[in-house]
Amino acid sequence: MSEDRSDEDSIMDLWYSNWEQQCVEGIQAEPDYEGQLQGEKELYSQQIWSSFQTTATAIAQLYKGY
């Protein structure tokens, strides 16, 4: 009986090991969304800052004439 239990445990350990390995491989195969998000955040921040500077320059030009 204990031998049956031991065989069953070793099979379950092997299955869990394979399953865990598949999970790790699946996670590692996913794209780096955090890196992409950070890059997009920086890009959009630069675009917003550029738009702000352009708008501020245009407003300054309007008031320069007065």
The pLDDT, as a whole number, for residue 1 is 47
Domain ranges of the chain: 1-30, 33-65
Write out pLDDT tens, residues 18-53: 888 888 888 888 888 899 999 999 999 999 999 999
The pLDDT, as a whole number, for residue 51 is 98
pLDDT-based confidence at 4, cuts 50/70/90?
A: low
DSSP string, the chain: -HHHHHHHHHHHHHHHHHHHHHHHHHHHHS--HHHHHHHHHHHHHHHHHHHHHHHHHHHHHHHHT-
